[in-house]
Structures are given as structure tokens and as C-alpha cells.
Structure 1
């Protein structure tokens, strides 16, 4: 026998992993895609959407964003809250130091500011503001 001492962090040589042997043999198989990879691929696929009587090709992600904005503009409060959360996450703040921000035109920003202003005014007035009471 050799002078190898078995103890904490030093298992017996016969039970150690052999070179090239995995520590998790039943783990994720090679080539298996992660959830995020599959999600990005799915959202990147293009589909045909009818919009205002015209057909357009857009990615599924673009279609989801369009639907989110459309529902928010129709007054769905949960959708509006989610849209505002997404805007905060993805559009630059006024200091312009958000490195991960998406580019937005001046008209886009003005539209969003107006939407935020109207929604905060609506929330400040309570539920009666909608019904004219």
C-alpha cells in the first residue's frame, strides 16, 4: 500500500472519480438546450399579423409587446402596471446612464410620459373619475 492517508476531503482511491468520469453521470445530456435558449428561439420566430387591414411579418416578441401596449392603452390596470414596470426596466432614465436601455425616439418618450401622466391622474382621482361621478 502507499502512504495515502484517507480522511476529510481524501476519499479512498478506489471510490474516487476516474479521469474522464463525470461526477454527475445522470446530469444534463450534452446538446440539451436550456430553457432560456428555447425561449429566445421561440420569441425570435416570425409570424404574420394582420394590423389595420394590412399583413405584417414580425417576431413573436414584437407581437407580445404590441399586445401589451394595446391592452394598457385600453385601460387594463394590471397590464398598464406591467408595461410601466417594463418601461422602467428597459428604457433609459433621464440621466441617460442606463447601459442596457433600448433606444427610443422623442415621440415615443413623449407618448409614454403622457400615458404615465394620465394613469397617475386617473389613480389620484379614484374610481369615480372614470364614471364622471
Structure 2
């Protein structure tokens, strides 16, 4: 060992330095950066417990979110319904194509009303 070793900031005396094989000598592990899509995937796949009726059910967070969207769509205002359809149209257009034949629109006139029903040719499609 040479005697010209200078002790100072970041240079501890040799007797206080890490010994060979010490894991702490490597330093801290560096954090891996995680992207937003990875964070969302991790959050959506995490299981949560919700109360459904009288029982507690374990579901993935993404499934819970979709169920709440559907509930909001079916019980909410027309504005929320439009919002849901726009989300489905943007992110899952094949879903609307697959289930389009299952959608049926029925008009019923209330008793005593003088408003005419829309013409049936308005709803016919050219296939």
C-alpha cells in the first residue's frame, strides 16, 4: 500500500472501507423506470375484493371498472350512455359490430298521446 493515499470526501481511510465480498459495496440498486401502460396493466390486473349482495367477491380491478361502466351506462343519464358508446366505439369497435344484430329498438305509444311514432323505414337497414 502506498502512503500517498489522500483521505477526504468519498475517500474513507483504508481501514474503514468496505471489505472484499461485501454486498453493500455495490451501492443501491437503480430503480427501473416503468411506463404508464405498464403501471395501468399492473393496476388493472391487481385483484380487489368487492361486496356483491351479501357476499364478498374477488375480481380484477379492470373487471370491476368495466362492470361499473356498464352499470353507469344502464342506469345513468343519456349523456353517460353516449360517453360509454363513444368509449366502446373508440377502443372496442368489434364489440359493437358483433352485437349490432342483437340490438332491438321498440317504440310504444303511451295511452292518450297524440305524438305519432317514427316511420318504420327510418330504422330499416340496407344490407
TM-score range, shorter chain: 0.3 to 0.5
TM-score (norm 2): 0.48
TM-score with structure 1 length normalisation? 0.46
Larger C-alpha radius of gyration, 1 or 2? 2
